[in-house]
Structure 1
Amino acid sequence: MHLYCKLRLLNLFCLILFTGFSQPAVKTSVTGSWKYTKGNESWIFMAADQYCMVTHYDASGKKFFKTFGGFQHVEQGVLRLHYRFHSDDKSKTGSTGTFVWNAKNGYIESDLSGELGKWMPAGKAGSAMAGVWRITKRKEGNDLRAIQLAPRRTLKLLTDDRFQWAAINTETGEFSGTGGGTYAFRNGVYTETITFFSRDSSRVGMTLQFKDHLEEGHWIHTGLSSKGDPIYEVWSKTTPDER
């Protein structure tokens, strides 16, 4: 082969090799929910809007262990979680944790629970309800009062059939409470079934119904709370700064 042709081929090979190594790692955010079970204990991972919440609980024993969450993305088999709250360790707020996240045949291999295990798919997150919501208005008497964004906030993450709310402080890391489970939203009726609750285990297993509707991107939530008190709340989808 002519020397010139050999040099051209060598340059082309080097270019392909260099390009392959210089490609930036692909970052993707997770959407949906996955569940890891060990004995009576369960871990649920919910994700939408580049955000996630992870909770460890025992539904049959009505025990809540811990929860944490924040912004997330996956890069080369690693889930990076920028903590916005952690019920066991407020000092984690603002830091980043890394976890194994490998897609296998029908499940995810991850160590989110503290040990490597199989996380099975538990639901998707592609509906109009999926995402991170925040209470923006609440009726007090006959007045609908606006709730301004502050470090102390209550967020509610929904996938297509699961929910979790968390009362947190994004500045101090203080965690005030959480609850979650499954839900259905049909014909204007929103139904929640509670599978974990940090403040009052007696509410685990309760099913609550509300007359709800979506209005110009806002979620109007009306009915009775788990204590039996009347509620009228307006929830709105959040921007990243509100999470």
Structure 2
Amino acid sequence: MKNLLFLPFMMIVFGVFAQDLEGAWKLTHLNGEPVKDRECVKIYQDGYFAFGIKTSDNNHFLNAGGGLYSIEGEEYKETFDFYTENPELVGSTQDYTMDFVDEKLVLSSRRMGKNYIEIWEKISEREDPLDGTWVITGRKRDGEIQTMTPGDRRTIKILGGGRFQWIAFNSATGEFSGTGGGNYTAQNGKYTEYIEFFSKDDSRVGASLGFNYEIKNGDWHHMGLSSKGDPIYEIWSDYRKTYLEKQK
């Protein structure tokens, strides 16, 4: 009987922690020292996480990582789909001890023989109609929609807490093709990205891109002009339904 009572309790705890995590967080302290020379923002949404790191003084891109996360009590795990600083860790799982102190997220871990204590402060838990983790499944070329099936090589976009990040990578080889992110707004069919980091071109930081969008049968249809001024029409689908559930 005790075990039967314990299971729903654990489900409640997982739900509370997962809900608390969703949104955007900023790394404020590492091993007791304030993080000043760089900015690291991590987005949690729908069981997925992604972070991007840039220098504070000139917005130079440093690195990025992300993948699936899970929570069991105070144990928190991250499994990397991509990690630009250490691509050899793609596919591996990092264990953490997780706690919340004064509404701050504290993650403790041991990596490569060293102890790490990270303190994260939530930037925002704003909710928008496009919040989620998405994977690109279609593009319009020459007036026709060309569909694609996500595989080892895929492009995803995670949105939560008013922040976005897209990443193109190959989880089988560890190859990383690019990433970018920043703030966004999504209202009345208008979606605007405000770029705060871009791995391929630091000069794009500060630019904004506006698009029209529509949700059709659960897919996000995204129309406008690319950063180079080329017309784009993209279709993004729910990452979990389109990719993750098909890998089981």
> Could you tell me the TM-score, scaled by structure 2's length?
0.81
Which consecutive unaligned segments of at least 5 residues does structure 2 have? 29-34, 110-114
CA contact (8 A) 2:22 2:161 kept: no
2:75 is matched by which residue type in structure 1? V
1:59-208 equivalent positions in 2, closer than 5 A: 59-110=56-107, 115-124=116-125, 126-208=127-209
SS at match of 2:88: helix
Distance 1:59 1:136, change over 3 A: farther
Aligned residue in 1 for 2:233 = 232
1:56 aligns with 2:53: yes
Write the deviation string for residues 22-43 of structure 1: whole angstroms up to 9, x where unpaired.
Answer: x979655442221124224111
Please say if 1:36 is aligned against 2:33. Answer: no
Q: In the alignment, residue 48 of structure 2 is paired with which amino acid?
A: Y
Q: Note if contact 1:85-1:175 (Cα within 8 Å) is conserved in structure 2.
A: yes
TM-score relative to the length of structure 1 = 0.83
Alignment length, in residue pairs? 226
Deviations 1:186-210 (A, max 9, x none): 1211010011111111101111111
CA distance in 2, matches of 1:97, 1:241: 25
User: Is contact 1:31-1:125 (8 Å) kept?
Assistant: no
C-alpha displacement at 1:160, in angstroms? 3.7
The structural deviation recorded for 1:130 is 1.6
Aligned equivalents of 1:186, 1:229: Cα separation in 2 = 23
Task: Tell me which structure has the larger Cα radius of gyration.
Answer: 1
* Stretch moving more, 177-186 or 31-40: 31-40
Q: CA deviation at 1:241?
A: 6.8
Partner AA of 2:25 in structure 1: W
Q: Kindly indicate whether residue 217 of structure 2 is the aligned counterpart of residue 216 of structure 1.
A: yes
Q: Would the aligned equivalents of 1:48 and 1:125 in 2 still touch at CA under 8 Å?
A: no
Q: Distance in 1 between matches of 2:75 and 2:64?
A: 20
Change (3 A) 1:188 1:24: closer
For the aligned residues, what is the CA RMSD? 2.6
Distance in 1 between residues matched to 2:147 and 2:120, nearest whole Å: 40
Most deviating of 132-141 and 84-93: 84-93
Q: What letter matches 1:36 in structure 2?
A: L
Q: CA deviation at 1:65?
A: 0.9
Say if 1:184 and 1:54 are closer, same or farther in 2 by CA, change over 3 A: same
2:32 equivalent in structure 1: none
Partner-residue secondary structure (3-state), 2:203: helix
1:103-151 superposed Cα distances (whole Å, 9 cap, x missing partner): 1112112358x84243111122654322110111101111111112221
Give 3-state SS (helix, strand or coil) of 1:239's partner.
helix
Query: 2: CA distance between counterparts of 1:186 and 1:95?
Result: 38
- Show structure 1 runs of 5+ residues with no match: 1-14
In 2: Cα distance, 1:63 partner to 1:122 partner: 21
Q: Indicate the percent of aligned positions where both proteins have the same amino acid.
A: 34
Distance 1:199 1:125 in 2: 28
Give, in whole Å, the separation in 1 of the partners of 2:56 and 2:197: 6
